[in-house]
Amino acid sequence: MSFLPLALNTLRETIRDKILYVILVFALMMIASSVLLADLSLGQQGRLVVDLGLSSISIFGLIITIFVGTNLVNKEIDKKTIYLILSKPIRRSEFVLGKFFGLSLTLGVITLAMSICFFAVLWTTLRGMGTDPFVWFPTSAMALSLIYIEMLLLTAAAIFFSTFSSPVMSAMFTLGLYLIGHMSYDILNFGKLTGQVMLQQVTQALFFVLPDLERLNLKNVLIQAPVSMDVFGSSLAYGLLYIAGLLVLSMLIFEGKEF
């Protein structure tokens, strides 16, 4: 557990980053603005607040992950502080874990702040409609949990890419993975529609290798009706297993990296 001090130090460093507060303010403003937009929808105020609020948290979480996560490893290399860290009794694998858990804690704090704002807006909206405020709370909490898991998966991906590429390329790779991950079924269906065996095999390989982020995007489903705990649990397990796989690959690459 020697990576814990490094994780806490990473948390302190990222929390002091001013860009986080700028992004957080915009996120909170976007969530709060859903109250104004809800007045334009007749009888669908709760649904609109949930949809816009969860989407805002997801998008701004992605932005924070790309801005911060892709610089975690390269910042230490550029400042030469990596030599000081690794000179201590800490392995390279623990360095990767420390950076991951440090940013995970940061994302947890930010997600908690956005979630509090989201639930406050949702409570106010539903009370104004005369609707039971707890109607949307369980499903919204499930959706927020999976959004956070998606953030952690993208964080692991950003760290993985940063072990062998520059911060700019890592950001592009992470954004590309996010876009492809949400279009994985579309890519698979495209391969089937072409009727070309080679292209079908390529799209199937991409589907199984790259993360299916739509499995973690249950907010559109949850808005319609609650999902079973089996579906939620399988999505949660899928995200955690993919995160573990990316971290293992990151540690293997970082072990052989020359500075």
Res 46: pLDDT:
66
Total-model pTM = 0.88
Using a pLDDT cut of 70, give the percent of the chain over it.
87
User: For residue range 52-94, what is the model confidence (pLDDT) as tens digits?
Assistant: 888 888 888 888 888 888 887 777 777 777 777 777 777 888 8
**CA 21/CA 12 separation, integer angstroms:** 14
User: For residue range 204-227, what is the model confidence (pLDDT) as tens digits?
Assistant: 888 788 888 888 887 766 666 667
62 lies in which domain range?
4-255
CA–centroid distance for 130 within its chain: 34
Q: How many CB atoms lie within 10 A of CB 191?
A: 21
**CA 242/CA 54 separation, integer angstroms:** 22
**CA 235/CA 242 separation, integer angstroms:** 11
How many domains does the structure of the chain reveal? 1
**CA 256/CA 87 separation, integer angstroms:** 16
**CA 147/CA 142 separation, integer angstroms:** 9
pLDDT at 41 over 70: no
Res 161: pLDDT:
92
Note whether 42 and 135 are within 8 A (CB).
no
Res 225: pLDDT:
63
Res 133: pLDDT:
63
**CA 147/CA 154 separation, integer angstroms:** 11
User: For residue range 189-207, what is the model confidence (pLDDT) as tens digits?
Assistant: 877 777 777 878 888 888 7
